[in-house]
Structures are given as structure tokens and as C-alpha cells.
Structure 1
């Protein structure tokens, strides 16, 4: 894919030329205390033109592992490109992040209101500003997420099928898994794809938690993509991948048949056969012990780490078709 060579870009109404660096404020509304909330948007432009890459995290305020990945990209200076432009927004939903809440104060999930409305709800206004004032000049987006509700995601890149450019970038990123999934209506990924932006959606870890392995996977993957684009600063080296990603073409959740105390005994990323023991559900009184067995063969790409589950709760996300 070829990228436009832009001497000047516009971010949040500010014109930024080649070789310039700046920190802008993504402000939409004050807190209910009238205190201002400034979300930093960090822009680094090389003197040499090239692709424009956007790193985002914190669309859901409780997904702190994604925030940590973008934080490290900034703190280590990975965001200072050898060519082109890197824009970083570590926390998009700062309102939720303040309270470690997934949603906005208006109760809306930001990732279900894109492309947003200028005069809509608070979440909708944030989505509108992101789409209209930040990403118009962007070529590639890497958006970092985690699992929710105690469910731990294996590090994975999610993309749509039949897009060779996305497929190539996903393989270069080299997370353990590439999960092919349809765009969710009104999501950031769906809107970005409609606008012709290449988005890699990274999932890894769980909410309210920072995991070193997941963080390293995200940072190293970002470095590989930047190196491929010719943007990675010279002082950084890219580690050679030990394995090629497994492509998950189809998958399904295995759910709890009973309510009780749950403990998984299988490691994330493991390949299992039908009938393998994955964990057990017990009662608090020592009278009941149900072994959870794999309903089908495949890779374990998500494990529920909640100690208490109810009948019907998702326990494991297991691939059904992969290559």
C-alpha cells in the first residue's frame, strides 16, 4: 500500500509541519465539578515524510493494559519516527479511566456510537471529534484493548477477512493469534475501515490488570509494524519472531453448565483436544465438584478468571477452525 506524502497535517484544528512535535488537548467536556479534563494527544513528526500512524487505547476506561502499552511506546521514545508521523492517544475515555469504568458517565459504550454526532451524547461527541479532527490524515491505526468482566484474552490481532493489506500488517505484528472477525456496527474499527484506514485491533489481558507478557507483545508488535513502514527509530531493534501467528477463522464460547466457584486448570494459548479437562466448578461446601471438559478441539484464546460463575457464563473461547 502506498501512503500520501503530506508536508502539513491538521490535528484538532492545529496545522503541524514536518519536523514538528506538539502535545494537543483533546477536550470535550468538563467533569461535573467544573474541573477541566485534558486528554493529551502527542504528535511527533519526522523531517522526512512517510506514513501517519495513530496509537490509541482506553476506549474502555477499565482496560488499563492497553493504556500501559501506549504509555511505554511514548516513554521509550518509540513514537519518535525516522520518517512520517506518529500520533499517540493513551486514554480516549478519560472519564471512564478516572473511575476505572468501562463506559462513559452517560452509560454509553464509546465503541458502539461511532462515527458519533457533534451535538449527541458525551460519548457520541468524543467519537465525532476523534473521527473528524484526528484521523482524517491517518493511514494506519493500532487500537489496544483487553478482555472484560474477568475474561483474560490471549494476545491477538483482530481484523476482517479478505483484506490483504490488513493481513500483511497483522502477520508482521506477530501476536500469537490473528482472529478474523466481522466489524461490529458503530465500532471504531468499523468506522475506520469504512474511511479506508487500516486498523489493527489488539486484544490482550483483562480489565483492571496489567500483564507483562501482554504488554511486551503489544509493544514489540508495534515496533515490528513501524520497522516495516520504515519508521522505527534507529536505536531500536526488532526481535525475530519465534513462531508464526495462528489464524483463527472461526471460534465459539464454551459456557458453564453449573453455577459455583470456578478455577481454570488449562493455560491460555494451549491447544486442547475434545474431552480434555479445562477446569472445575465447585460449591463452597465441598459437596460438589464438576470437571469442565473441552466441548471440541482447538486453541484456548480466552479464559474466564472470575472465581464465581453462573450457569451460562462464558468460561473459555476456543477456536473451531484455524490454520
Structure 2
């Protein structure tokens, strides 16, 4: 099991990293059916001064590129070099899915639905087990970066469990445009953190197989604010300031397409709309049908389906609402 001993020596996957050192450790518990080992690089930066250990992850779903870009920027800009404590970055947790630009592991399983895994389970489950046993125990705080699935584009947001005041406070410090109350799904990485009492901020922004500069900026700047709060941000970095506090979303609903056809979005993501406001059009390919989509209620649009074609019943807008 990974640990930091009384002499402040970090042991991770059988490698010792001393205070003031940096290291790259390859996590390679799983192999392809060709017996080829697929390595998952873990980038570790340690300060001489003791402090918290922050674990920063992305790419649990292999096609979610925005999160991967956020962690890449943290490393390339040196933000991951702490003033005190330890920062562990895993830019691409699911390298298998990243190679094929798919959400799942090669065995077809969603890694984020098999935690804490099983020692002798299928590929994804075994990977989750070793991750939970060997890497997660060293973390004091976790930041996990995701995007919307498929064509659904999430406004930049932090998701926290309602009633968790400690995490709500950290979410306010991160200060994404939105903070969304969200129940923790069973067998997710977030649930594994919760069971081990590891504080975790789950960031959602953008959509899969897409890279968005604005979303990456929100993720990087929010991380800097968290590191500054923990006393870990190097003095050469200025703590990014914001002009607006994160908007708390307590309740929300999905608006669904009433007709099949071509979807034309008429509003920007993150906009506050009024009930009955014109927000999209659904048409047929032949120019004979045109349906106006209007907002079901007053609220913020925190997710938009950017697919050019939808079927009746498809989710097209995620909108906040009053209780």
C-alpha cells in the first residue's frame, strides 16, 4: 500500500520518493490480450517542507480530453511543483481508452463504475482495485477532471454531495462558474474516495473528444486557487481572481426533444434563460417542419446537447430550477 512514513518518505508502487524529489512512476497492472503492457505514467512532485498530498486525475474516461489538457497544463507550467507537501498527477488514468478514443476499458467496462474493484476481477476491475489499494491511500485531497459524455457539453462546474459543507467550501474556493449538488453514484471513483474519507472535487466541463480552451482555463485556475488555499502554490504564481462567485445549483432537470430532427441551438452554454424563452429549433431535413424549443422554466443552462441530430426523447438541455 502507498504511504508516507514518519520521515516524510513517500512510497508509491514500491518506489521511494524523498522530500524535494520528483519522479515518474509507471502504473502497469493490466495488459492487453497481446500481452503488451500499457503503462500509465504518474508524475510526482515533492517539496522539502511537509504538507498535504493532492492527487490530481483525468481521463478515467479515455475520450474526455478537456480534463487531460487541464492536468497537462498544470505539469507543463510547473503549477504541480508544490511549495510544501506533494502533488501527484495522473493525466490519463484510462490510457487504454485514450489510445482508442473510447470511454471504456478494452473489456467494455466503464472504469468509473467498478470501484473499488476486485483483486481477481476483470481488467477494469483489477485496475481499479490496485489504484484504490496502492495510490489513493496517500492522498489527502483529490481533484478529478471530467467532461460531458458523447455530444453533451457541460458548462464548467464542480459537483459536490448536498450536505457536505467541507466540500462545498472547497468548491467555493475552486470557484468554477457553477457548483452543482450531485448524488455520488455507486462504484465510482468519487464513491471510493468518499468511503476512504478522502475529500474530492469532481470537475465537469466541455464534452468528449473535444478540447476547449475556456474549459481548460477554468480547470487550471480553479486548481491554482485550491493549491493556494492549502499553502501549496509556488510564490511565482499569482492566485487567479474572479469577478463572480460560483453559482450554486441545488435542483435541475433535463429538457427532452419532443420531435426527432436536426437540432439548432440558439443560446450560449451557461446562460440564464426565462421560462418560455426561445432556445433551440428542431427541423426536418426537407424544409417542411420547424419546431421552436422554449425553456421549460427560468434557470441556468448547465449542459447542452451539441449533436446536430436528435431523436424524440433525447436529452437536449440540462437546466437549473427552484425546488
Normalising by structure 1, what TM-score? 0.96
Residue deviations 1:74-123, cap 9 Å, x none? 01000100000000000011100001000111110000000001110111
Task: Report whether the alignment pairs 1:114 with 2:115.
Answer: yes
| Partner residue, 2:36 | 35
Structure 2 gap segments, 5+ residues each: none
Over residues 143-184 of structure 1, what are the superposed CA-to-partner deviations in whole Å (9 max), with x where a residue is unaligned?
A: 000001100000000010112221111001010000011100
Contact 2:147 2:207 (C-alpha < 8 Å) held by counterparts:
yes
Deviation at 1:5, TM superposition (A): 8.1
Match of 2:245 in 1: 244
Give the SS at the match of 2:121.
coil
Asked if the contact 2:30–2:127 (Cα under 8 Å) also holds between the matched residues in 1, the reply is no
Whole-angstrom CA distance in 2 between matches of 1:244 and 1:321: 19
Distance (Å, rounded) in 1 between the aligned partners of 2:272 and 2:64: 26
User: Equivalent residue for 2:309?
Assistant: 308
Contact 1:6 1:49 in 2 (8 A): no
Per the alignment, residue 263 of structure 1 pairs with 264
Paired residues of 2:49 and 2:85 also in contact (CA < 8 A): yes
The offset of 1:199, in angstroms, is: 0.3
- Give 2:11's aligned residue: 10
Please give the alpha-carbon distance, in whole angstroms, between the structure 2 residues aligned to 1:13 and 1:110.
24
Distance, in Å, in 2 between the alignment partners of 1:128 and 1:31 is 17
**How far 1:10 sits from its partner (Å)?**
2.3
Q: Which residue of structure 2 lines up, in the alignment, with residue 63 of structure 1? A: 64
- d(CA) in 2 for partners of 1:202, 1:226: 15
Query: Within 2, Cα distance between the matches of 1:312 and 1:13?
Result: 51
In structure 2, C-alpha distance between the alignment counterparts of 1:261 and 1:272, rounded to whole Å: 22
Report the equivalent of 1:80. 81
Contact 1:155 1:217 in 2 (8 A): yes
Residue 236 (structure 2) aligns with = 235
Q: Which runs of 4+ in 1 moved over 4 A?
A: none
SS in 2 for 1:183: coil
Structure 1 unaligned residues grouped into runs of 5+: none
Q: Secondary structure at the match of 2:138?
A: coil
| Matched residue SS, 1:203 | strand
Aligned partner of residue 56 in structure 1, secondary structure:
strand
For the residues of structure 2 that align with 1:138 and 1:169, how far apart are their CA atoms?
16
What TM-score, normalized by structure 2, do the two folds share? Answer: 0.96
Decide whether the 8 Å contact of 1:159 with 1:201 is kept in 2: yes
Output the CA distance in 1 between the equivalents of 2:282 and 2:150.
Answer: 18
Shift of 1:9: 2.4
The separation in 2 between residues aligned to 1:223 and 1:58, in whole angstroms, is: 20
1:261-308 deviation digits (Å, cap 9, x = unpaired): 001101111001110011000000000000101111110000010000
Q: CA contact under 8 A between 2:258 and 2:313: conserved in structure 1? A: yes
Aligned length: 319
For residues 128 and 264 of structure 2, the distance between their equivalents in structure 1, rounded to whole angstroms, comes to 38
What residue is the counterpart of 1:99 in the other structure? 100
